[in-house]
Amino acid sequence: MDFGSFLTSPEIKVKIITCRDIFQEKAMIENHFGEDYINHSAVIKLDPADLKQLNVKKGDTVIVKNSFGRIVVKAEESGYETPHRGIAFMPKSPWPNMLVSDETGGMGVPRFKDISANVTSAKGEKITEMESLF
């Protein structure tokens, strides 16, 4: 074993905001279980500084987890000009739904806009398969 195998990957805390994505919507209409839909849905968009802190590049897989679930998705740069460290965006899909609390605070509606989670590098793990999300 080399020394690096004892080091843990950097981890950051984020607030995830789920949002609509026009490219994901188009892919969903064409084939809800197709490769194009998965490529546009199993994604977390992060601030460039957060990507750097995690030591991941665009297209690398990351683990996103909290007390409700764990998923592996692709990391992408958000593309927003204004810095937003600690705030991540995910297209509405089965992947971020795995991280949503079942507690609704009496409202009956889950909180899709304010998901707290930790993100770390997945070091080559594959994206969580859609079939395992249902």
pLDDT band at 5 (very low <50, low <70, confident <90, very high): low
Alpha helix segments (H runs only) across the chain: 22-30, 35-41, 48-54, 94-97
- Each residue's pLDDT tens digit, 79-114: 888 889 999 999 999 999 999 887 767 777 777 778
Indicate if the pLDDT at residue 7 is higher than 70.
no
pLDDT band at 67 (very low <50, low <70, confident <90, very high): very high
Q: pLDDT: is 104 or 134 the higher one?
A: 134
Dihedral in degrees, nearest 10, Cα atoms 77, 80, 85, 87 = -90
pLDDT band at 20 (very low <50, low <70, confident <90, very high): confident
- Each residue's pLDDT tens digit, 116-132: 999 999 988 999 998 88
Nearest CA among 87, 92, 76 for reference residue 37? 92
Q: How far apart are CA 50 and CA 13, in angstroms?
A: 10
Domains in the chain, start-ordered, CATH in brackets? Answer: 20-133 (2.40.40.20)
